[in-house]
Structure 1
Amino acid sequence: MMHVDWLSLALLCAIAVASADALTKRFLGGYRAMEIVLLRFTLSGLLLAPILLFVDTPEFTPEFLLILAAMLPCEILAMLLYMKAIRDYPLALTLPYLSFTPVIITVCAFVFLGERVTGLGLTGILLVVAGGYLLNLDSVTADGSGPRLLEPFRAAFSNRGSQLMLVVAALYSITAVLGKAAMNQAPPLFFAAFYYVLLGLGSLILAWLWKPASLRGCLRRPGAGLLLAALMAIMVITHFLALDRVETAYMITVKRTSLLFGMLYGAWLFSERHLPQHLVAGGLMVLGIFCIYYGQPIG
């Protein structure tokens, strides 16, 4: 397979995530959370399944099966909570918390995988986190008095949506570290396809038991649903290919620039405001990516 730089893969992954979110907001706004999960997991798993016919199947060791058993419920629960948080609560009090996943992952990857980041790499991670935080912060309060930089921190103790997104950030940190561990057991293309096939089956069973109406409801806009599934398929392939090539914290940090691409979509498709604030935030994130890329340990 032609070698592709991890940074290019991670940026493509971020663009796919942002595109999937923009598509969901634009065309699937009336869908229930379970219906979105079925499109993102079950339909994308169906698109990825043919890959399994063309890649070698690794040995299913007890460690590999244990990793899968831990990842699957965390991934489905995180997606359900994520959809509920952004649907039912203000974005400015939910999305900032997602930008903190690289910090959590930096600690978890060191503890469980022994991965270390350089000083310049850590600076880059913190710059991207700061940019992601600023990017999703309302620049003006309800009474027009100015920015509330600490509002999301206060909301963590009082706002249900903020608390839900903190749980989502923690769950995604767990699945990212476990996914990296799985790379020691299976090649990335196999794992990407196999994992999403299992996610799709798990989501299908959950929907059948819990929300059977969503099985039919998710198909009412087949064109948009298929495009969403295709974007998710691109996301998962580039995610695991990039994760196989670099430290977990670096890859997930670059993937979180999906927040920046999402804001660009917001300005383009939804006429969202606060452009100066977004440009400053985007500048921080771009500077952070440069620090990460040039702060990688050599060899």
Structure 2
Amino acid sequence: MGACNEFDTTQSGAMIYLGFAFLTALFESLKDLSGKFGLGQINEFFISWAMSAFALPILLPILFYVGIPELNASFWKAILVGGLLNAVSLVLYMRAIRMSDLSVTIPMITFTPMFLLITSPFMVGEYPSTIGVFGVLLIVGGSYMLNIQTRGKGILEPFKRLLVDPGPRLMLLVAFIWSFTSNIDKIGVQNSSPIFWSVAMTSFLAVSLFPIMLKFSDHSKEKIINQAKPLIAIGVFNALTFVTQMIAINFVFVAYVISIKRGSAILSVFWGHLFFNEKGLRERLVGVIIMVAGVFLITLS
């Protein structure tokens, strides 16, 4: 039975699967929190590899259940191009988290839907609606709130801070790259299946990042062992994010699931305040909520 019918006929069941969507947001935020802890001792190259490699023991057995679909040339082109772009963006993602506060870096990923309104018409022929444009305005307005305390230095100062601070600046680049990889993901899924594509991409990242990790990571075995908990945690939470998201989108509208998943940025603001004593909780929380609302509008459009 399709997701729409399931949602209409069993309201209590839909609420259960919406719970999986909220778990997706929780695990996504915990993945970022684990990465932030690990980056205190281990560089972004090792963390990026661990995020994919340590997820595989959980994800690979799923293939025995779903099977391997017939793969064509379009799939292999998508996995190659998308995999290379995702490998670059993943390293930049972790570097951004290492360089700046979680509460101002993670919210920048909500700019991906805004960039998609630019890239999607060219790549997959999808065009924005009026409600989507309004969602963009909310994302931009919410980003202004992240550094609203600097407004006394000039009305445009909150925007300038996003470009001056290396973490948010790098994360904006990641969001831009993801606007391309999101379209490539769609091509990959259309030429395989959602579950197989996710497992294949994770495997590609683990393999492609391995030699890069060896070249640029000079950590001792003792240091890696000492950081085993956050390294394993980031892989486990990455896998759990995938599993709960796949369960949710099978029974609830995809638009709802993705919008709720982006709510992980709200949790990241709390984690930054609780575990790293990051300042400006109220302003940043308001800003992120506005940005997530913008994501929701764009997704629905």
TM range (shorter): 0.7 to 0.9
Q: Any gaps of 5 or more consecutive residues in structure 1?
A: none
Indicate the structure with greater helix content.
Answer: 2
Which amino acid letter does the alignment assign opposite residue 30 of structure 1? Q
> Displacement, 1:120?
2.8
Structure 2 match to 1:101: 112
What SS does the aligned partner of 1:102 have? helix
> Displacement, 1:51?
1.2
Structure 1 match to 2:52: 41
Structure 1 match to 2:84: 73
Structure 2 match to 1:229: 235
**1:189–1:240 Cα contact (<8 Å) kept:** yes
1:220 pairs with 2:226:
yes
**Among 89, 110, 122, the residue aligned to 2:121:** 110
**Among 290, 295, 298, the residue aligned to 1:284:** 290
1:169 pairs with 2:175:
yes
**1:45–1:196 Cα contact (<8 Å) kept:** yes
Structure 1 residues 82 and 199: alpha-carbon distance in aligned structure 2, compared to 1, 3 A threshold: same
Deviates more, 1:167-176 or 1:235-244: 235-244
Structure 1 match to 2:196: 190
Normalising by structure 2, we get a TM-score of 0.77
Deviates more, 1:76-85 or 1:88-97: 88-97
Separation of aligned partners in 2, 1:125 and 1:152: 17
> Displacement, 1:48?
1.1
Structure 1 residues 243 and 183: alpha-carbon distance in aligned structure 2, compared to 1, 3 A threshold: farther
**Among 138, 141, 148, the residue aligned to 2:147:** 138
Structure 2 match to 1:267: 273
State percent identity of aligned pairs. 26
Structure 1 residues 97 and 283: alpha-carbon distance in aligned structure 2, compared to 1, 3 A threshold: closer
Give deviations 1:72-127, integer Å, cap 9, x for gaps. Answer: 11111112122223323577875564332111012222322223454334433542
What SS does the aligned partner of 1:183 have? helix
Structure 1 match to 2:67: 56
1:25 pairs with 2:10:
no
What SS does the aligned partner of 1:72 have? helix
> Displacement, 1:61?
0.7
RMSD: 3.6
Deviates more, 1:263-272 or 1:152-161: 152-161
Matches within 5 A, 1:76-91: 76-88=87-99
Normalising by structure 1, we get a TM-score of 0.78
Structure 1 residues 157 and 274: alpha-carbon distance in aligned structure 2, compared to 1, 3 A threshold: closer
1:211 pairs with 2:222:
no
**2:262–2:292 Cα contact (<8 Å) kept:** no
**2:103–2:284 Cα contact (<8 Å) kept:** no
